[in-house]
Amino acid sequence: MKPNKKIKINQLVNILKISKSFIFLDEITAFKKNKKINAKYKIKKNNWFFKSHFINEPVMPGTLLTEAMLQATATLIYLSEKKLYERTFINRVTTNFYKKINFYADLKIVSNILSKNNGFIEAKSEIFLKKKKICSGNFRYINSKQFEISND
C-alpha cells in the first residue's frame, strides 16, 4: 500500500489547490488506489490556531481536524480518478470528536473510500493520536460536473 515515494506538502499544494498555510497534512505515507490513504500531520508549538483558539486553554479546533480528514480523503479521490486532480465538492459531512488536542503531537489520518455510485463518493476518515482514535468522519463527495450550471 505504500506509494512509490512519499507525497510531501509541496506536492499536496498542487494536488489539493490549497495554500501551504492551510494544508493539514505533512505527507502521504501510504496509498491504495480507490481504497485507502494514510497521512501524517505534526502539530507544532507555533501553529497559528493555538494562538487564536481559546487563548487561556488552547486547543486545535474541531473544524481543522475535519479539514485534515477532508484533505486526506480528497487526496485519495484525486489520486484515484482517471482524470488526475478532477475537482469534487463536499456534499455531506458527519463528524464525531472523542478527545481534544491541546498539545503538540503527531497525528495519523486514515481515509477509506466506501463506495462510488452515480458521481457520488462515500468515504470514511479517522484521526489517531498515539494509536487512539480522537475523531472520525463520514463524507460524501460529488463530482464537480454534477454542480455545473449552464447559462441556457
Specify burial of residue 70 (Cβ count, 10 A radius: 0-12, 13-18, 19+). Answer: buried
Catalytic annotation on 53? yes
Nearest to 39 by CA among 4, 84, 6, 16: 6
Nearest to 77 by CA among 67, 69, 87: 87
The pairing of strands 7-8 and 120-129 is unpaired
What radius of gyration do the chain's Cα atoms show?
A: 16
- Cell 475537482 appears where? 87
Catalytic residue among 32, 36, 40, 53: 53
C-alpha cell at 77: 479521490
Catalytic site residues?
53
